[in-house]
Amino acid sequence: MISFEKLGYFLPQGFLFSGVSLQINRGDKIGLVGKNGAGKSTLLRLLTGQTAPSEGKIHLPKDCRLGFLSQDIKIETELSVFSFLEQSNPDLNRLKNRLEVINEDLTIRTDYESQSYLNLLDELAECNEAFQIHDGYNWEEKIMSVLEGLGFSKENVHRPLSTFSGGWKMRAELARILVNEPDVLLLDEPTNHLDILSIAWLENYLQRFLGAVILISHDRLFLDNVTKRTLEITLGKILDYPFGYSKYKERRAEESERLENAKKQQDKEIKQTEMLIEKFRAKQSKAAFAQSLIKKLDKTERIEIENDSYAGMRVRFPLSVQPGKWVLNMDGVGKSYETTLFHSVSISVGRGEKIALLGPNGVGKSSLLKVIMNQIEYDGSVEYGHNVSIGYFAQDQAEKLDPNRTIFETVDHVAKGEIRLQMRSLLGTFLFSGEDIHKKVGVLSGGERTRLALCQMLLSPSNFLILDEPTNHLDIPSKEILKNALVNYEGTFLIVSHDREFLSGLTNRIWDIENQGLKIHHFELDEYLKYKTPSEVKETVKKAATDPKTAVTQTVPKVDREREKKLQKTEQQIEATEIKIKDLEVVIADTSYEAENYASLLNEYQDLKSTLEQLMDQWEKLAV
């Protein structure tokens, strides 16, 4: 479907990547990974044509439709959410408007026998057929199905989009992309502003989506459940692995270990060669030998290894003092703005409880945490237990940092006592070392700011952590380190997060804000998700993603019988080839990188991919 021909992109400091040649085929579900700044978002912009490559080309099929969800969404409209989607398809709008004009014209004309009247009837039939092909008669139903799946209530879809927050605007933009059924979905952090149930809905949708998906995400479980192929941008190259994220990480670790051993051996040989050169270059009888060694050294291709910045990162939240048997008591707590978020919440939190506070966006999770912190007015009473010391991480904690302070000044401002002697070591633990500690906060990325805000928390020992979306902007390794710190935390915590992998196995209680009340669940996260996903939503997801009309629309015009036979045969070959590719992916996944047949299996895999590409080209020609 899409091919890269020696693609490269250059920045003043050097190439992000160069000489990249690969293919992306119909049905590929690809996870795009790499360190922050490696060029993941840049690659998506190259695909859309928003950014031009420094070298090479990207070949897209004729009329290939791309749906691109970027992190920088700017929507300026007074349309309602529903109208924003309803008016987003120019072909449907044109056909709908023309049908209205024709029908109105037919009601007032009386020249039934004239040629122009008959021509109008023919055009009406053609427009109706085209409208049906574009699924126009199910358009409103499809829009509502996607909007509800992404968390919009039936009442809210008729509110002006301008009245929604940036997160909800992102959902509306994602809905607009999905209902218009592109051939390729390019999604840059699509789960950032989704709640757990919406993430599950999107995951199911993408699993059944018939087109290609290229996905950037810091949600490990989402990547594992959606993707079957991983592209990693590293050291100026793009590495291609026929696995989902977790399997890719295993293979990547094996490769890194092998490369590290090979580099050690190479470094040893280089050092020996340099010693020989130094020994013989001054001797006239050995000068020619020394020159040959120098040439050999110059031709040696040095093995490069990307450093794992997180390898030594270990974080522990220190416990201040042991509190009493209970740390928090709420009695008749309620909070209302224009509407009631929750009311009559009465509950006690015991020492050592690990609680996840869940619920769709907008139900009042952050407000409940602010109530507990006495940051906003509320009904009822909130009391802390004996010796309770709270560490609070607000949802906008990273944004609250002073952009004019340096990293060191930021932690120095809150550090007290003997901990000040360990500040450089502590900053190093959070990957801020050397000259980095003198950077201004204003130039840091979202992930770096979040790490710095978490570092601040360590400087104030606590026994009750209240964390509101602490994983926002953190990459997968950082989230794993934070999770490990919370698993080993000896105190109590209450956490809001929509990352299922992060929450899994972390908590022993789930608080759920539902119908303006607080429900307590004692089961695991997976059981909670099954409990919260109604059967009608599951059916909607299944129907929306498996119905050819709601997947990738491939319109096949009328063709003669011979052509139709060839078309059917090609479709069968495509299906058979796709099955072979999937079977081979399983074999490769179970084969050791060092196995003798590993290289031949990869060659066979690439051959099948090329065959599939040729069959797809053939199908497109026959379907024209």
**Is the confidence at residue 7, as pLDDT, over 80?**
yes
Average pLDDT over residues 109-117: 86
- Strand segments, DSSP code E, in 368-439 are 379-384, 390-393
pLDDT at 598 over 90: no
Span of 6-20, 102-116, 544-558 with lowest mean pLDDT: 544-558
Torsion of the alpha carbons at 52, 54, 56 and 57, rounded to the nearest 10? 0
Strand order in the sheet with 229-234: 66-69, 184-188, 212-216, 29-33, 229-234, 237-241
State the Cα angle at 184 between 609 and 161, rounded to 5°.
165
pLDDT at residue number 309: 54
Biggest distance spanned by C-alpha atoms of the chain: 110
pLDDT single digits (tens) 602-615: 778 778 877 887 88
pLDDT of residue 240: 92
pLDDT in tens, 142-167: 999 999 999 998 888 999 998 888 88
Are the C-beta atoms of 468 and 369 separated by less than 8 Å? yes
Return the half-sphere exposure (C-beta side, CA atoms, 13 A cut-off) of residue 111: 8
Average predicted confidence (pLDDT) for the chain: 83
Cα 200 off chain centre by: 13
Looking at residue 533, what is its pLDDT? 67
Model pLDDT, residue 325: 92
Percent of the chain with pLDDT over 70: 90
Cβ(459)–Cβ(472) under 8 Å? no
Mean pLDDT to the nearest integer, 545-572: 55
CA 468 to chain centroid, in Å, comes to 20
Dump pLDDT digits (tens) for 479-498. 888 888 889 889 999 999 99
Task: Give residue 540's pLDDT.
Answer: 43
Residue 623's pLDDT is: 61
pLDDT of residue 538: 47
Secondary structure of residue 509 in the 3-state scheme: strand
Q: Which of 54-63, 366-375, 406-415, 522-531 has the lowest mean pLDDT?
A: 522-531
Q: Cβ of 215: how many Cβ atoms within 10 Å? A: 26
Q: Confidence band (pLDDT; 50, 70, 90) for 544?
A: very low
CA 424, 425, 427 angle in degrees (round to 5)?
65
462 — alpha (psi -120 to 50), left (phi > 0) or beta?
Answer: beta
For position 549, what pLDDT does the model report? 40
**pLDDT at 560 (0 to 100):** 55
More confident of the two residues 14 and 158:
158
Q: What is the pLDDT of residue 396?
A: 82
Structure token digits, residue 127: 């427009």
Confidence of residue 594 (pLDDT cuts 50, 70, 90): low
Q: Which pairs from 424-430 meet CB under 8 Å and 24+ separation?
A: 426/455, 426/458, 426/459, 427/455, 429/312, 429/313, 429/314, 429/315, 429/455, 430/313, 430/315, 430/454, 430/455
Q: Higher confidence at residue 30 or residue 401?
A: 30
pTM for this predicted structure? 0.71
**pLDDT score recorded for residue 307:** 62
Tokens of 226: 């959606």
Tokens for 278, please give them: 């130094």
Share of the chain above pLDDT 90, in %: 33
Select the more confidently predicted residue: 602 or 393: 393
Would you place residue 367 in the very low, low, confident or very high pLDDT band (cuts 50, 70, 90)? very high
Residue 287, pLDDT above cutoff 90: no
Q: Does residue 529 register a pLDDT over 50?
A: yes
Banded model confidence at residue 351, pLDDT cuts 50, 70, 90: very high
Is the pLDDT at 94 greater than 50? The verdict is yes
Q: What is the pLDDT of residues 314-335, one digit of tens each?
A: 667 778 789 999 999 999 999 9
Q: pLDDT tens across 214-238, in order?
A: 999 989 999 999 999 999 998 888 9
Look at residue 561 in the predicted model and tell me its pLDDT.
Answer: 61
Residue 369: pLDDT above 90?
yes
Element (H, E) at 2: strand 2-11
